[in-house]
Amino acid sequence: MQNIISDPDQARKHDSGKERKLIGDRGDYFLNRMEGETGANISACYQCERCTNSCPVSHFMDIKPHQVIHYVQLGWREELLKSSTIWICLSCEMCTTYCPNEVDVAEIINHLRNMAAHSSITPKEKSLAVFHQTFLEVLQKSGRVNEFRLMNAYYLKPDILHERIKNKALKEDLLLGITMLRKGRLKLFTPKSRAIKEIKRVYSQTRGEIV
């Protein structure tokens, strides 16, 4: 991450024409909000990059974990919600576990993912976002998630079929499915839970509906 240059004219020149955001142009509003909602001490971060170095997928991310923390401090909300990072993160908790300042990096990224899911921003990693969404839909329909139902529902989502034909995942999935079926690992029908109604109710509450 480059240093932020405090002289606005210098900064713009430095970025060769690109408009650069400056420190504190939103005050600390976003930082305070994130600290309040996650309970994480984001201000304690001193950019040692230990989180990024412990992260197994940092090289697939556009904003690295330590940069995420810095962006939150700077109030750069949209950049974060538009990033691939929030979807690529595996929630493996390496970053949180190894941060010397006990900054809960994984929770911060997870919270940003929650925020992105409730915003109008198109997720940069759409296939991942749609997969999570599909999982919850199947869960609501049967109370439990069966692999076969999940994959079927996922393929029926707009663009997913097309994407998976293009990257040859469809062929692999079909072959895998057949082998799984042969080995008895794919159960087409599994019992549902009677919880469906309760779960639906809870779900509509989370969407702010009065039930």
Partner 1 sequence: MRLSFYPGCSLEGMANDYARSIDAVFRNLGIDLVEIEDWSCCGATAAHSLSQTMSVLLPARNLAAAEKLGHDIVSPCANCFNRLRFSQNMIKKKVFDIPWPVTGDIRVHDMTRFLAEPARIKSIKERILRPLNGLRVVCYYGCQMVRPPKITGYTDYENPQTMDRIAATAGAQVIDWSYKATCCGASVGIARKEIGESLTRRILQKAQQAGAEAIVVSCPLCQSNLDMIQKDRSKRHTPVFYFTELLRLSFAEHVDPKWFKMHFTDPVPLLRAKGLLS
Site for partner 1 in 103-162 (CB under 8 A): 104, 106, 110-111, 113-114, 117, 125, 127-128, 130-133, 135-136, 139, 143-148, 151, 154
Contact between residue 138 and residue 146 where contact means Cβ atoms under 8 Å apart: yes
Site for ligand SF4 in 91-130 (CB under 6 A): 91-95, 99-101, 103, 105-106, 109
CB closer to ligand SF4, 63 vs 153? 63
In this structure, what are the phi and psi dihedrals at residue 195, rounded to the nearest 5 degrees? -80, 0
Three-state secondary structure call for residue 22: coil
Eight-state DSSP code of residue 84: S
CB of 119 to ligand SF4, least distance (A): 20
Runs of H (alpha helix) within the chain: 8-14, 29-38, 50-54, 65-74, 77-81, 85-88, 94-98, 105-117, 126-142, 147-155, 160-166, 169-182, 196-206
Element (H, E) at 193: none
Question: Which positions lie near ligand SF4, rule CB under 6 A?
Answer: 45-51, 54-55, 57, 65-66, 69, 89-95, 99-101, 103, 105-106, 109
Contact footprint for partner 1 (CB under 8 A): 56-57, 60, 88, 90-94, 96-97, 104, 106, 110-111, 113-114, 117, 125, 127-128, 130-133, 135-136, 139, 143-148, 151, 154, 169, 172, 176, 179-180, 183-187, 190-191, 193-195, 198-199, 201-203, 205-206
